[in-house]
Structures are given as structure tokens and as C-alpha cells.
A and B are shown apart, each in its own frame.
Chain A
Amino acid sequence: MNSLNLNRLTIKRALELLDEGKISSVELTQACLERIKKIDPEVKAYLYVNEEWALEQARLADEKRKAGEHGKLLGIPLAIKDNILIKGHPTTCASKILQNYIAPYDATVIRKLKKEGAVFLGKTNLDEFAMGSSTENSAFFPTKNPWDLERVPGGSSGGSAVAVACRMGLGALGSDTGGSIRQPACFCGVVGMKPTYSLVSRFGLVAFASSLDQIGPFALNIEDTALLLKVISGHDPYDSTSAPREVPSFTQILQENANTKFRVGIPKEYFEHELHPEVAKNIEEMISLLKRLGHEVKEVSLPHTKYAISVYYIIAPAEAASNLARYDGVKYGLRVEGKSLIEMYKKSRAEGFGREVKRRVMLGTYALSAGYYDAFYLKASKVRTLIKQDFLKAFEEVDLILTPVSPTPAFKLGEKTSDPLQMYLSDIFTIPVNLAGLPGLSLPSGFTRESLPLGVQVIGPHFRDDLVLSLGYQIEKELDLETIPPIVKAL
């Protein structure tokens, strides 16, 4: 037990140790729980930790292993973003309106993880209803960046990114609507992946923007990410938008493609924005690294990129306004009594939702209103198609695309809360990927002089999540970065 060094323990290694009988899932889970007790009060990644439940699952996993069962994640402790339902446990979406909501069913991804024997430690913090880029929009408390406690961890899946960065869980699930997995992964120095839209079932993910949302994994490295992705992917009859296709073994493909040379595109429009100098320098280094590895690097054009943020901030709020209509105080969640039905609706929603959620509900309602629909929603949908076509065209020339994840490293808490437009710009490189439904991977690519993590994004064609992970794997091996936040190292 003392020899258990969580800081360098990957899921793959943990499974080996478990299989060899050198550790038990109970020990591993206990170690994570102790780590949570020590560090979480500082970083506040978790909204909910249930020790008893976690240990019970771990004990069950140990019994199963003794009985000769071999789940792909048997006994591995994970953190789950609190907008994914686990039956019998709270799902708050970091919103007051769902503060007391207990999930009545399991999300499909949870069902799949349970089948493979994963252990759930608890639920992680997020921007309310996943709306935000810093986890500051949580109705309960902000999560802090373990590399610098005065900075944000990114968002909206900030809690999951921090949980993995601090080894308060060997892996995690988040959701990504405009960058909500990739940007916090980048800010916290871990790997995060948004799969191709429709690869992973959305059933049981509390909807923010249905045509953009996608659940994806966080892990310490690409291999673990590939393993988690394999487990949660696949057709789900409960999600009409999920793709009815076979999911390959991503971990195996990584090895097969270990030396494959790719044609990698660098979109010139992504460099027309103001980039933080160290982000700019890092991406140049990455380009050199790709060339050194023998990949063909060429410039590509994604001409409609400049419209991506505008399009996103019409489509996402429109879908959100509709999806969030159900939180009305009638059936579940917060109810504030009023003299009439309408007053009850108004009071419940006024008290239950935070500022950013209200802002987006209003934006979205406006964009869908009769008389404005054509000018906003319909127009945005058309431009969205153009953005998607840009990528399809680029992928005729290249296999993959490489971009920064975020224009800046992690920013200070409070720095952008009063300026939503600045906050929105933080997702400028990740949003187009959601609009096009493509797979996007964020992996650590270096550090700033202040020791803040930097990240690079690999984008692939639809359903080429395997290629995206393969290039990520090559970069990761070549860089061989140590990504242990100081707060963790100090333990």
C-alpha cells in the first residue's frame, strides 16, 4: 500500500497491479479517497464524494476479480462530471435548480462503465449546466487550477480535469459542447478527448445543446484515454443520434500506428487571432516536432472559422433554452411557491438558474422567436454547414489537423467573469470542432515560463477518433512530459 505511487499510476498500470494481486481495488480506491481528503479542500474539484459507496464498489470489484472476472476497468476509480446521471446519486449540474435531484436511472455511459467494473468516487464540479469555460459558473463554488490556485481550471468540465490532474481518480468523464473537455484538459495538463458526435451515447447526459454535446474521457495519457473511450463508445438504442457502427479497439490501433506518418494540416485562420506568445511559440515547436517525426505538415484553410463563435452562440443557446424549459418547479428540483402557476414558474427559474444560464436562455429564446428564426437560427444552421464543409474539404488534403487548444494558458479566477465575450473567445479553437461534429483531442504539449500547462489539439475526420489518438500518442511519446502539479508533488 505504501508503495502505491498514485502520481505516476495510469489505468493501464493499475490494471496490471490489480491483476498481479499486488494491490486491491479497495486499496486503490482508499488511496484516491485519501488524496481527495488532502487536496480537494484546496482545489474543490468534487461536488459529491461518497466514500462508503466507492469502497463498496471496490470491494465488489475485488470479489469479481477473485472470481476470475475481467472487466476492462475492473476496480478502477473514476470521477464523473455532475451532469451525467448515476442512479440513486445526486446529479446537480452545479445548479441550484437541481440541488436535491437524485438520478432515477443510469446514463448509458455509466451502464457501460459499470459493466466493465469501474468504481465511481463521486461527481465533479462544472459550470452550471456546462455553460462556461472556467467552472466559475458553478452555483456552489469555483474549482481551482492545481498548477496555480489563483487560476481557473478551465471549463466547463473543470472538476473532472482537476480530479485527474491531482490523481483524485485515475480517469474521469466530462462533456464537451464547445471545448468543455479539451480546454480544461489543456489548462490542467491532462489528456481530454471529445469524440466524434454520435460515437458516445448522450442518454443520461443532462442536455445543454443536443446537436453539440458529447461525453468524453479525461486521463493521464493517451493509452488510458483510448481505453476509456472504447468502453463508453458504441450504438445505443436509447439515443437516436448515436451511430450504428462497430467501435474499433483504440488501444490496439495506437500500437499499430506507432510509426505511421500522417499528413497534418495547420489551419492558417487559427493564427489570425491574437495568440498568447507562449501558446504561439509552443505550436511552432509542435510543428517542428511533427516534421522531426517525419509527418508531412502543410497549411490548410478553414475560411468560415471567423463565424464559428457567432454561429455557436446562436445554436447552443437556442437548444439550451429549449432543453432547460423542463426545469420549472413542477416535477422535480427547486420549487419556489408563488400565488399562481406563472408566478411559481418565474420564481423557481429566477432563483434556480444562475446569471450565465439565464443569459443563454434569453439569447436562445430570442434566436428561436417567430420573426427572428430565419435571421438567426436558420442562418446559423446554414453557416454551420459551411464550417463543416471547410473541414471536409481540408480532410481531402490532410489526414489530421493540428491547432492550439486555447489562445491563452489558464487565466486568473475572476479575470473574465464580468466580460462574457472574452470568456466566449477562450473556446475559439475548440468550438468549430463541435459545430462540425468531429473528434478533437487535447494533450499536454509543454509549459509556460510560469509553469502553466500548454496543450495542443488534434482534429480528425468523422469517426477517425483512432487516427486522432494515434497522432496524440506519437506526440506524447516524443515529448515525454512530466505533468504533476506542484500541489500534488508536495505531498
Chain B
Amino acid sequence: MEFEPVIGLEVHVQLKTKSKLFCSCSTKFGAPPNSQICPICTGQPGVLPVLNKEAIHYALKLALAVGAKVNRLSIMARKHYFYPDLPKNYQISQYELPIAEGGAIEIEVNGSTKLINLTRIHLEEDAGKLVHDEKKPYSYVDFNRTGIPLLEIVSKPEIHSPEEAVAYLKTLRSIVRYLGICDGNMEEGSLRCDANVSVRPKGSSSLGVKVELKNMNSFKHVERALAFEIKRQTALLLEGKTPVQETRLYDEATQTTHPMRGKEEAHDYCYFPDPDLIEVRVSEDWIEKIREELPELPSAKKARFIKEYGLSSYEAGILVEEKPLADFFEDTVRLYAKPKAVANFILTEVLRYLNRDNISIEQTQLKPEFLAELLSLVDDGTISITIAKQQVFPEVYEKGLPPKRVVEERGLKQESSEELLRKLCEEVIKENPSEVEKYRSGKKGVLGFFVGQVMKKTGGKANPKLVNQILTELLEG
């Protein structure tokens, strides 16, 4: 029998608002423990929450970006559970009437696109962090994160492979980054993902027993955890067993999942509308204003790049994943009107360095002017593409120097003097009679050897086109 996995994702994105959801404490990441707290976010007696309007604004941005229906009236509710990282022992969240319902995210896997529908988007506050010291019989609590606004985005169970799950997450991350509402950094926890996974016989419309997966802190973890879990559940079904409905944690070290201990009993969160907060009302005007402010989103940008610049779907897809990179591409094309060449250079050279250093384009000293200038230098024969890639670009990237200056200072200007090159070509031919023999007996591929020899003599600076031309002429002649 063939099986298919059914996956639904619950993604939490931490909003980049200046202050927390219910107080004016800073949301900055990485501050010393408990340096960004106040009576409100530490749940002192007598405090009251006041909803941060900017957070609602951000929530509406996402809702409109994914085509969700904004509830004109939504309600903040209390979700109760006791845990030391939750100072009030209830989390202010949304239950009935979330800020938005429905909507969808389009993903692309192996060249085909697919819509993943959303159930809802709701606003809630983050919890603090427990810091454990293995040597001590107690733990510490850091409340800096307590009260930072989160959006929970719940997908329908319409994802059917780990690859689709990762594509969904990457697309969602790209959207929240485009909107400027979240850093989307899984390692720092500003984007978190839980998954509900079940497996069923292919073609069946009913759902199997679902397992909730937690503790996946990167796309790789999500992919591996899901793959493991699907394999585990399929094996159980093949043995005629049923998986247990439970929460399982992903273990990075073993790349497996194991049941979370001690949380087996079903929680009763005793949800009820928070009497300290009034209903969240969203006016038509507000929605319209946000709609006007929405940037071009990745999917639309990708379509435009394909159409306007003649890029392939693959090229466009990678360029639009991060808005700063897409902007860099377009700004370069504005200065140097050969989009294919620009895209090609970015996808190979630029991305290679960005990935090596694990940073994004705006964290580098690269400027669109530099790339445009570099490519022009290749075009007008000042340098070869090889020199451009191997010698000039690294300098531009590392030091933020204009390419022309790098070429001048390091004397990388291409050697195009026909007289000199002819002399060198003749030398090379003289020095390698057996290779000449080969060429003349029909092995035209040896030409590359001769070009290489000339390059060696010029330290790679010889104009390859000219060298080719001269060598062919001499050898044929």
C-alpha cells in the first residue's frame, strides 16, 4: 500500500514592533537578561494591558498580503496554563474571532506551484525564556521576551511532503520580511514552526492520528524531523499499528523525534475574553490605507522579473526570495541594462560570497554601481570575465572599493596589444612542437592548451578573445 503524509504548520512570527504588545518595553533581541521588563510584562499585581496599535497594523499587513479576511471586530482572550516563563500564568492570545481568517500562500516545489490555504492568523504575546543551569537544582527566568508580539499563522493540512513544508516556510518568511514585520530568523527564534503530521493510505480522504512536532529551529530541522516522522508513522501503519496522538520533540543530535515527557494529559486552557481589553475594531479606512502601503510581494515580483527581464523562473525565484537582493538586482539593471548578465553574476558570484559569510546583501559593502561598473569593464574589454570574478570582485566585496580602482591599483587591466600577444603566441607555438603536431592532425581541442600557456605568461591578463583569434590564425596558417 502507498501512504501519503498530511502536514499542517503552525508558524509563530515575532513582530518587529518597537515596543511589546501590552507595555512600552523594548523588543530588542540579545539584551542582558531581565533588562527589558516592567511591572506590566512581569505580571505584577494590579497591572493592565494596553494593546500596541503597531502590532495590529503589522497583523493587518500580513492578513492582506496573504489574502485573508480581516475580522472587523476581533477579541483578545486569555489562555491559561501554569509555567514560570508566563508571568500571569495566562497568555493573552485570540481564540474566537482572531484578527484574520482564511487566505493562502503559493509555494513552488520542483517547478510546479501549489496553493496552501490558511485557517487563521491571530495575535498573541510571547512567553519568557527559562535558563537552566545543570549544576543547580533550579532554573532562571528571563522576561525580556515576555510580551513581545507574535502572529500565529495556522495552515490547513494541505502540505504533503517535507519539501513542501520547507517551501511554505521559506515563502512565508520571504513575505514577512518583504512586509518588514519580522526578521524571520529561525535560529534566533523570531520565526518558529510547529507541525502536525499524520500519514494515511494514498487516496484516502480521512485523516490519520496526528502527532505534533516541536523544537525545530531551522529549515533543515523541519525537513529532517518531518521526514523521520513520516517514516516512523508509515512503518507503524505497515505493521498494522496506529501512531499515538502525542507531542514529539525533534532531537538534532540523533535526527529523530521522541515523545515529550510529562505533558500527555490534554490541556484545558479555560479560554475566555480578556475583560481588561476592549474589542479590536478595524475600520475600512485603516484596511485601505494598509492595502495602499503594501509592497510588491515576492510572487508578483517574480512574475514581473520573468516578464520584464526575461529571466528564468529559477533565476527570478532566487532573486526575489529576499527583497534587498531583488532591489540590488533591479538597481544594477537600471545602471547596466543587461539583466541576464546581472542575474547570472549575482546568482553565481554574489550569492556564493553571501552564503559563505551567511549574511544578506545589505550587510555587505557591495553597491549596484560597483556591479554595473564591473560588468561594463568586462564588456569594454578592460578585463576578462575570469579576472572580474577571481580578482576584482573579491576585492570589491571585501573592501567596498570601486572596481575601476581595483583594476588600476592591482594592474589587472587586460592585455590587448595585438603586437605583444602575437609575439607571445608565436613563442608558445615554438616551445610546444608536439602539441602543434596534434592540433594540425585534427585535435582542435589543443587550442585551449595554447591559450592557457599565453595566459600563464601574462598572469591571466591577456584578452582571451584576441589570443584565440591569433592562435587560430597562426596554427591554421
Contacts and interface: CB of A to CB of B under 8 A. Distances in A.
Contact of A105 (B39, B50, B141): B39
B45 A238 contact: no
B270 A238 contact: no
Interface string A338-367: 000100010000000000000000000100
A332 B44 contact: yes
A390 B80 CA distance: 33
Interface in A214-238: 237-238
A63 to B, nearest CB: 30
A328 B89 contact: yes
B359 interface: no
Contacts of B84: 328, 330, 341
Interface in B1-60: 39, 42-51
A10 interface: no
B270 A365 contact: yes
A325 B82 contact: yes
B275 interface: yes
Interface in A40-86: 83-85
Nearest to B141: A330
Interface size for chain B: under 10, 10 to 19, 20 to 34, or 35 or more residues? 20 to 34
Which of B43, B45, B51, B270: most chain A CB closer than 10 A? Answer: B45
Interface string B82-109: 1010011110000000000000000000
A148 interface: no
Given A238-B50, A240-B277, A241-B278, A326 B43 contact: yes
A240 B268 contact: no
Contacts of A103: 46
A365 B78 CA distance: 13
Contacts of B89: 325-326, 328
Contact of B44 (A104, A211, A368): A104
Given A322-B270, A326-B45, A210 B275 contact: yes
Contacts of A318: 272
Given A325-B80, A326-B89, A330-B84, A240 B270 contact: no
A331 B87 contact: yes
A202 B276 CA distance: 9
B284 to A, nearest CB: 22
Contacts of B47: 203-204
A325 B90 contact: yes
A98 B45 contact: yes
Contacts of B271: 368, 373
A107 B270 contact: no
A339 to B, nearest CB: 10
A85 B46 contact: yes
A118 interface: no
Interface string B272-292: 100111100000000000000
A83 B272 CA distance: 24
B interface majority secondary structure = loop
B272 A203 contact: no
Contacts of A93: 45
A319 B275 contact: yes
Contacts of A84: 46
B80 A204 contact: no
Given A104-B39, A370-B268, A322 B80 contact: yes
Name the residue in B49, B141, B275 with the highest tally of chain A Cβ atoms < 10 Å from its Cβ: B275
Contacts of B88: 325-326
A105 B82 contact: no
Interface in A91-126: 91, 93, 98, 101, 103-105, 107
B300 to A, nearest CB: 38
A206 interface: yes
Contacts of A83: 46
A279 interface: no
Contacts of B50: 237-240
A277 B195 CA distance: 67
Contacts of A104: 39, 44
A473 interface: no
A312 interface: no
A344 B62 CA distance: 42
Query: Which of B44, B269, B277 has most A Cβ within 10 Å?
Result: B44
A334 interface: no
A175 B46 CA distance: 12
B267 to A, nearest CB: 9
Contacts of A319: 275
Nearest to A332: B44
A361 B80 CA distance: 13
A373 B272 contact: yes
A205 interface: yes
B184 to A, nearest CB: 30
A240 B53 CA distance: 12
A288 interface: no
A369 B47 CA distance: 25
Nearest to A237: B50
B87 A326 contact: yes
B48 A238 contact: yes
A240 B46 contact: no
A211 B275 CA distance: 6
A203 B278 contact: no
Contacts of A345: 82
A330 to B, nearest CB: 5
A383 to B, nearest CB: 16
A262 interface: no
A240 B45 contact: no
Nearest to A201: B48
B96 to A, nearest CB: 10
A85 B47 CA distance: 10
A83 B45 CA distance: 9
Contacts of B80: 322, 325, 368
A238 B88 CA distance: 17
Contacts of A101: 45
Contact of A322 (B48, B272, B277, B278): B272
Contacts of A239: 48, 50
A429 interface: no
A250 interface: no
Contacts of A325: 80, 82, 88-90
Interface of A: 83-85, 91, 93, 98, 101, 103-105, 107, 202-207, 209-211, 237-241, 318-319, 321-322, 325-326, 328, 330-332, 341, 345, 365, 368-370, 373, 377
6 contacts: A104-B44, A206-B45, A209-B275, A240-B51, A322-B90, A368-B270
Closest CB pairs A-B (n = 9): A325-B89, A368-B270, A210-B275, A211-B275, A206-B45, A204-B46, A326-B43, A326-B88, A206-B46
Given A93-B45, A330-B141, A341-B84, 9 more contacts: A207-B276, A237-B50, A239-B50, A240-B276, A241-B275, A319-B275, A326-B43, A368-B271, A370-B269
Interface of B: 39, 42-51, 78, 80, 82, 84, 87-90, 141, 268-272, 275-278
